[in-house]
Amino acid sequence: MFADDLSISLESNDADSAGKILQIAVDSLQKWSNTTGYKFSPNKTFMVDFSHKWKKTAEPFIKIKGIPIKCKTEAKFLGLTFDNKLNWSEHIKNLKSSCFRTMNILKYLNNKNFGLNRNYLLKIYRTLIRSKIDYGCQIYNTASTSILKNLEVTHNACLRICSSAFPTSPVLSIYCDLSEPPLQFRQLFLSSNLYFKILNYSENPIKSLFQNKIIKSTFVKSGKEKYLLPLRLSKNNIPIKIHSLPQIFSSPPPWIIEVPSTILDMIEIKKSCANDFEIRNQIYEILNSNCKDSIRCYTDGSKTKEGVGCSFSIENNISQFSLRNNYSIYSAELTAIYLCLEKISQSASTKDYVILTDSLSSLQGLQNLYSNHPIIQRILIIHHAIIQSQIKIKFMWIPSHCGMTGNDMVDAAAKEAIKMKRNVNNKTLIYDIQNTNKQNILKKYKII
């Protein structure tokens, strides 16, 4: 058995005291390895003194198995090359040369006689080259503009090959032609995604670092905002203060929860129906054969430029809610289903229920018991609690705007709810925040 990529880090202004502390840590690891059977290789062990000071400081003297640990100017850890000045020049240099070697594949496949079209070339570029550039960009994006420009050159060269553009073609026209944004905007989008993922997990140790006001003020006073991710995002007009709906770890666990029963017969039947009258007849036939005595519920969500709303009805009793403006239509549909189930769980009725919705993607999402979507997680838990009380719940997909009275009523109610003040204490969803940020970043790119 082999263990790899073990690192010890220490922050200190004094090399002598740092050396003593690190020596104690190395001795403790050596003692542990003697009892567990692991062995540390002195030849592969090294240390790096990270410092922005131009004057070279004395190197700490540390031994392992009586052999002095050598000092290097850079270290490769988890695919990223950390140089002792943390300017990322060596990492970007290696990354650029690696991408240029892979770029030969694009050149070969761009042959006029037997080459691929631009769509396949773009897929190859995004898979083999852009994925390398994306990896770790949230960290090395703190490098200077002149160093990062090396990657922009690589990005532009690959897109020029994919588009078969002339060498004199403006780069911006190539971006527009391929619908591929400049690298700086993509890296900004990936950085914002990472930041909001960290905020969404309360146990992430970096979260407290990002929210520490003293650390933020230190970076602001020193004029080094770009080195702290939330300050870098804020400088680019990306909101960093959110109250997101967290994911939950369900009890019971997902493998015990029953998959919701869904009726998707109308997907195939709709294709053979000539008009809305036939569609409605087919829906009623399915309802009478599968859930004749069940109480019918309808759910719907609506999103316009003015806002987002959702509604549901149980036995023609309609409830409508106004949601946050950054909710997607998918989240609105799921919220309507969740609120409907919540109302059912509070009801004293012992009858079975059938929930009819025109959102096929929502029903497909409910089939994944291991989903990371916070609303789906809550729907599955409340659905499990309801069926444990011997009440059956079925979900059925119906086409929208086919003349079903119940569906039309909740559709109109969802649109009316947009004009109301927000009457649901709903938190922001990370998925919707990321989508909103992506749209805002792309708007910046279009302004160029």
424 DSSP β-pair partners: none
Note the helical H segments in 80-228: 89-109, 118-125, 131-134, 137-140, 145-163, 171-178, 183-200, 205-210, 213-221
Across the beta sheet with 308-314, what order do the strands follow?
261-263, 393-397, 353-357, 295-303, 308-314, 317-323
Note whether 328 and 357 are within 8 A (CB): no
Q: State which residues of the chain have pLDDT below 50.
A: 1
pLDDT score recorded for residue 1: 46
Q: What pLDDT, in 10s, does the model give residues 352-388?
A: 999 999 999 999 999 998 888 889 999 999 999 898 8
pTM summary value = 0.75
pLDDT score recorded for residue 446: 65
**Which residues, at least 6 apart from 122, have a Cβ–Cβ distance to it below 8 Å?**
162, 178, 180
- Domains in the chain (CATH in brackets) are 15-72 (no CATH), 89-235 (no CATH), 261-427 (3.30.420.10)
Encoded amino acid at 113, one letter:
N
pLDDT score recorded for residue 425: 61
46 DSSP β-pair partners: 70
| Cα pseudo-dihedral 227, 233, 237, 239, rounded to 10 | -140
Q: What percent of the chain has pLDDT over 90?
A: 30
